[in-house]
A and B are shown apart, each in its own frame.
Chain A
Amino acid sequence: KNQVEQSPQSLIILEGKNCTLQCNYTVSPFSNLRWYKQDTGRGPVSLTIMTFSENTKSNGRYTATLDADTKQSSLHITASQLSDSASYICVVSGEGFGNEKLTFGTGTRLTIIP
């Protein structure tokens, strides 16, 4: 069964600190991996999308890595801000390239405290 597992489930860090979120997946075949940010009560917003040929991609203070061999990804947040408080969801696209084949993780709930 296709699965995406994220760790930790929740994380609390001080403003200005860095953090790294982890994602392991068993989705096969693999097309691409995405990280989304979801604020409470709102829809997910895309941060990065990576295909199997990419092993790192940055979007401002967010840097995602992908190891397609070990089926692991990480999202590193640098110099955290209060507005980074949200759930971060790892999403893997399986066969084909359609969004109907997305497998979502349950997310990491990140809380930034001043």
Chain B
Amino acid sequence: DTGVSQDPRHKITKRGQNVTFRCDPISEHNRLYWYRQTLGQGPEFLTYFQNEAQLEKSRLLSDRFSAERPKGSFSTLEIQRTEQGDSAMYLCASSSRQGAEGTEAFFGQGTRLTVV
């Protein structure tokens, strides 16, 4: 158990519907990351937060995607008007600090989204 929890674990939705995922990071971690992983591929970076500030967004994050971390604790990732290409595992990770050693990212178990 890494301490990062994601909800739900699985989500099946019809194309065109909106979905929202939640991530609760390890409590003392100030950085939170969202990644997307499709079958047979490694995770791809989507966006990250330092505390409540969203500092970077990948170009993979189209305008149908929005992420928030309103109080610097949990985060939500919303996908509007879902498309079949959005089907993937959405992974959340958190880390505690920057530093010369590089910071360890602890991943949650992911939310598996299937758009039908």
Contacts and interface: CB of A to CB of B under 8 A. Distances in A.
Interface residues of A, number: 26
B102 A49 contact: yes
Contact of A97 (B91, B103, B107): B103
Given A42-B109, A43-B109, A98-B48, A106 B42 contact: yes
Specify which of A32, A91, A102 lies most central, judged by the most chain B CB atoms within 10 Å of its CB.
A102
Interface in B81-116: 89, 91, 93, 95, 98-110, 112
Nearest to A105: B42
A97 B98 contact: yes
Interface string A11-40: 000000000000000000001100010000
Interface in A23-76: 31-32, 36, 41-46, 49, 51
B72 interface: no
A105 B104 CA distance: 17
Contacts of B93: 43, 99
Contacts, number: 72
A43 B23 CA distance: 13
A43 B108 contact: yes
B44 A43 contact: no
> Number of contact residues on B: which range applies?
20 to 34
Given A43-B2, A106-B41, 20 more contacts: A42-B110, A43-B4, A45-B107, A46-B104, A46-B106, A49-B101, A49-B104, A51-B101, A51-B102, A97-B101, A98-B98, A99-B48, A99-B93, A99-B105, A100-B45, A100-B48, A100-B55, A100-B56, A102-B45, A104-B42
Interface of A: 4, 31-32, 36, 41-46, 49, 51, 89, 91, 93, 96-102, 104-107
